Copies of this chain bind each other. A is one copy, B any other.
Amino acid sequence: MIDKVDISEKMSLFNEYWSPKIVGELNNSYVKVAKLKGEFIWHSHENEDELFWIVKGTLLIKFRDKDVLLKAGEFLIIPKGVEHLPVAEEEVEVVLIEPKSTLNTGDIISDRTVENPIKI
Contacts and interface: CB of A to CB of B under 8 A. Distances in A.
Interface of A: 2-8, 24-27, 29, 31, 48-51, 55, 63, 66, 68, 70, 73-79, 82, 97-99
A31 B7 CA distance: 18
22 contacts: A2-B76, A2-B79, A3-B68, A3-B76, A4-B68, A4-B74, A6-B74, A7-B74, A7-B75, A25-B49, A25-B77, A26-B49, A26-B51, A26-B77, A26-B98, A27-B29, A27-B48, A27-B49, A27-B99, A31-B51, A31-B75, A97-B97
Number of copies: 2
A105 to B, nearest CB: 19
Per CB-CB distance, the 8 closest pairs between chain A and chain B, nearest first, are A26-B49, A4-B76, A26-B77, A27-B49, A4-B74, A6-B74, A24-B77, A5-B75
A73 B8 contact: yes
A97 B8 CA distance: 20
Contact of A5 (B50, B76, B82): B76
A82 B99 CA distance: 22
Given A73-B7, A73-B8, A75-B7, A68 B2 contact: yes
